[in-house]
Chain A
Amino acid sequence: MLWYVAKRLLAAMPTLVAVLTVVFVIVRIIPGDPALTVLGDQATPQALAALREKLGIDKPLLAQYLDFISAALTGDLGRSLVSGRPVINEVVAVLPHTLDLTISSLVLGTVLGVPLGVWAALRRNRLADYVIRIVSLVGLSFPVFVSGIFLLMVFALHYRLFPVIGTANLSDLGDRTWKLVLPTITLGLVMVAYITRVTRSAMLQVLSEDYVRTARAKGVPARLVIRRHALRNALIPVVTVVGLYLGINIGNSVLTEIVFNRPGLGKVIVTALNQRDYAMLQGLMVIYCFLIVVTNLLTDLAYGLIDPRVKQA
């Protein structure tokens, strides 16, 4: 198993370097001189030159590139142009909040989504199926900031059940959970809708497979056929899709964090964009890509657990 993980990490290396290169190029394309942005146009040429040297942007492009790659691979992502603090520190500070939200919405999505999807598949084209499909379509159609605001209005402002400001005290588990509820429901709503649909179509596909017929021919009771024979196979495409979706989820995380005023990677990204903090943006993109690689790896590992055919590869 360890060998499998190591092999996959190694295989991801070229992709990682390719993405880092793209990040490097994108940041350099941004019009404007970073030194000018930081110091303002009142700065003297000497000050500008000094800052440029400090930031390392006066070196030839190739040298900058090599510096960047080697630094990124060793974990040094530079320093924020605005605060001067290392990018990696800023990221580590907010990461627990983002992970809390991602994991809890994923759990909510799965716990609700899979059973609903299975149920809809079993009651195909009957009332329950239609209702589930419509409701999940509504869930998908709710932009996250709209549903977040609605939830905020009802549960935090009107009924005062949950707090409005969302910075949690990480060491206080109660506070942390408390502040997690509404954002999780917001983000989880989309997850549930998505997972329900994927599970439904995967189950429909699997239920028509020959091996399900064989199981029924053996007299295996229907409930056992669904749980043991159908569901395990149906989960394979569900894992794929959920893994893909986690990467896409960051857009929704950003919005959720804004609505609930939660610290997290999303807010950091938007702040950096607004402040034109290029060093920060560069570092953040690297982190984001790294997270995608990790997610893919986790997805692959999940396959390995469910599908015995994968281990052979």
Chain B
Amino acid sequence: MTMRILARLLQVFGTNKTSWVGLGIFAAICAMALLAPWIAGSDPLEQDIIAKLRPPSGEHWFGTDEFGRDVYARLVWGARISLSVSISAISLALVVGGTIGLVSGYVGGRFDMLVMQAMDVILSFPALILGLIIVALLGPSQTNLIVAIALTAMAPFARIARAPTLIVKERQFVEAGRALGFGHARIIFVHVLPNILSEVLVMASLWMATAVRVEASLSFIGLGVRPPTPTWGGMIRDGFENILDAPWLCIYPGLAILALIFSLNMLGDGLRDATDPKLRGE
């Protein structure tokens, strides 16, 4: 069954240039984050007041910030936060949202209706505001950030998981006599999952882009992961105060955020163009 999923993945990726480019950039950023200890050069937390607010040079590729910390090193390490928060949040959203969708679709009736309406309400809230409220209530920390983003991203995954459950339910009525207890789980895994795989991938990519954006925005507002941990949004926030003297403090993290979000959007968009049956036909 893994082979079938892999084959489907390749088929979906194969023809689409956009998704390859997006995947490439994303992979490069991931590699950068993973290899941080080796490629960062200097310690991102190490302060050197004498060398503060230096422009980019041979020694400090992207310059230094107001505490003399190397911007390049902070950028490389900052990737870890952006990636770990977004990947964790979306994985959580996928699992929780998917489960809710499966259960809701299976139980059906009033319960299903109520749950889906709740999902719609969540979906109609701007992700940033919802994240803002939750983090303000629970306090800023990496975990809360992940939970906040996961909560806003749950809804679309619930929808995706629910649709095939409804179809499977129909079939169950037909085969009522022969269905064994574990038949349900088998059917879901073997038949349903490969079909919704492409939809899930598209949603996951696009919502990861949103997650990165929300994390960066919240860090910029001051509700992200606490300093001195380097985050891209936080770097911009600090750099904003010195924007007149040291524009590089905002430029490089800004470009990094743009690159990551753009790559994820390209990936999601490319995948969607490749797999949406309506768009494929022409």
**Cβ-defined contact, A149 with B126, below 8 A:** no
**Cβ-defined contact, A255 with B220, below 8 A:** yes
Which residues 240-272 of B have a CB within 8 angstroms of A?
240, 243-244, 247, 250-251, 254, 257-258, 261-262, 265-266, 269
**Cβ-defined contact, A247 with B240, below 8 A:** no
A144 to B220, CA, bound (A): 11
Given contacts A149-B250, A251-B128, contact A141 B243 (CB under 8 A): no
A208 to B278, CA, bound (A): 12
Question: Which chain B residue lies CB-closest to A142?
Answer: B258
**Interface check B236, CB cutoff 8 A:** yes
Question: Which chain B residue lies CB-closest to A157?
Answer: B244
Contact residues of A: prevailing secondary structure: helix
**Interface check A297, CB cutoff 8 A:** no
The stretch from B107-115, B129-137, B160-168 touching chain A is B129-137
**Cβ-defined contact, A250 with B221, below 8 A:** no
**Cβ-defined contact, B126 with A137, below 8 A:** no
Instruction: Give chain A residues whose Cβ lies under 8 Å from the Cβ of B251.
Output: 150, 153
**Interface check B216, CB cutoff 8 A:** yes
Instruction: Give chain A residues whose Cβ lies under 8 Å from the Cβ of B128.
Output: 251-252, 254-255
Which residues 3-39 of A have a CB within 8 angstroms of B?
26, 29-31
A258 to B221, CA, bound (A): 8
A137 to B133, CA, bound (A): 28
A157 to B247, CA, bound (A): 10
Which residues 140-186 of A have a CB within 8 angstroms of B?
140-146, 149-150, 152-153, 157
**Cβ-defined contact, A248 with B126, below 8 A:** yes
Interface centre among A138, A143, A270 (most CB of B within 10 A): A143
**Interface check A249, CB cutoff 8 A:** yes
A108 to B209, CA, bound (A): 25
Question: Which chain B residue lies CB-closest to A158?
Answer: B247
**Interface check A103, CB cutoff 8 A:** no
Given contacts A29-B137, A143-B217, A149-B240, contact A138 B247 (CB under 8 A): no
Nearest CB of A to B90, in Å: 17
**Cβ-defined contact, A250 with B129, below 8 A:** yes
**Cβ-defined contact, B126 with A141, below 8 A:** no
- The listed residue (A26, A144, A157) touching B243 by CB distance below 8 A is A157
**Cβ-defined contact, B257 with A143, below 8 A:** yes
- The listed residue (A137, A244, A252, A255) touching B266 by CB distance below 8 A is A137
Instruction: Give chain A residues whose Cβ lies under 8 Å from the Cβ of B233.
Output: 145
- The listed residue (B132, B254, B269, B282) touching A146 by CB distance below 8 A is B254
Question: Which chain B residue lies CB-closest to A245?
Answer: B126
**Interface check B80, CB cutoff 8 A:** no
Q: Which range holds the interface residue count of chain A?
A: 20 to 34
Nearest CB of B to A165, in Å: 13
In the complex, the number of residue pairs spanning A and B with C-beta atoms less than 8 Å apart equals 85
**Cβ-defined contact, B137 with A143, below 8 A:** no
Instruction: Give chain A residues whose Cβ lies under 8 Å from the Cβ of B261.
Output: 141-143
Instruction: Give chain A residues whose Cβ lies under 8 Å from the Cβ of B2.
Output: none
Hey, what's the 0/1 contact readout for A283-311 against B, CB within 8 Å counting as 1? Answer: 00000000000000000000000000000
**Cβ-defined contact, A137 with B269, below 8 A:** yes
Nearest CB of B to A127, in Å: 14
**Cβ-defined contact, B265 with A141, below 8 A:** yes
Which residues 234-269 of A have a CB within 8 angstroms of B?
244, 247-252, 254-255, 258-259, 269
**Interface check B54, CB cutoff 8 A:** no
Hey, what's the 0/1 contact readout for B84-121 against A, CB within 8 Å counting as 1? Answer: 00000000000000000000000000000000000000
Instruction: Give chain B residues whose Cβ lies under 8 Å from the Cβ of A137.
Output: 262, 265-266, 269
Question: Which chain B residue lies CB-closest to A26?
Answer: B133
**Cβ-defined contact, A143 with B243, below 8 A:** no
A255 to B219, CA, bound (A): 11
Hey, what's the 0/1 contact readout for B31-71 against A, CB within 8 Å counting as 1? Answer: 00000000000000000000000000000000000000000
A29 to B133, CA, bound (A): 12
**Cβ-defined contact, A138 with B262, below 8 A:** yes
Instruction: Give chain B residues whose Cβ lies under 8 Å from the Cβ of A252.
Output: 128
A250 to B136, CA, bound (A): 17
Nearest CB of B to A311, in Å: 26
**Cβ-defined contact, B265 with A143, below 8 A:** no
**Interface check B159, CB cutoff 8 A:** no
Question: Which chain A residue lies CB-closest to B270?
Answer: A137
A26 to B254, CA, bound (A): 34
Question: Which chain B residue lies CB-closest to A150?
Answer: B254
**Cβ-defined contact, B250 with A255, below 8 A:** no
Instruction: Give chain A residues whose Cβ lies under 8 Å from the Cβ of B266.
Output: 137
Which residues 203-238 of B have a CB within 8 angstroms of A?
209, 213, 216-217, 220-221, 233, 236
**Interface check A273, CB cutoff 8 A:** yes
**Cβ-defined contact, B124 with A247, below 8 A:** yes
Question: Which chain B residue lies CB-closest to A30?
Answer: B137
| With A146-B236, A250-B129, A258-B221 already in contact, 6 other A-B pairs whose C-beta atoms are closer than 8 Å | A141-B258, A141-B262, A143-B257, A145-B216, A247-B124, A250-B126
| CB-defined A-B contacts under 8 Å, sample of 19 | A29-B137, A138-B262, A140-B265, A143-B261, A145-B217, A146-B216, A149-B236, A149-B243, A150-B250, A150-B254, A157-B244, A244-B124, A249-B126, A254-B128, A255-B217, A255-B220, A255-B221, A269-B129, A270-B132
Q: Which 8 A-B pairs have the closest CB atoms?
A: A251-B128, A141-B262, A251-B126, A146-B254, A141-B261, A248-B126, A273-B136, A143-B213
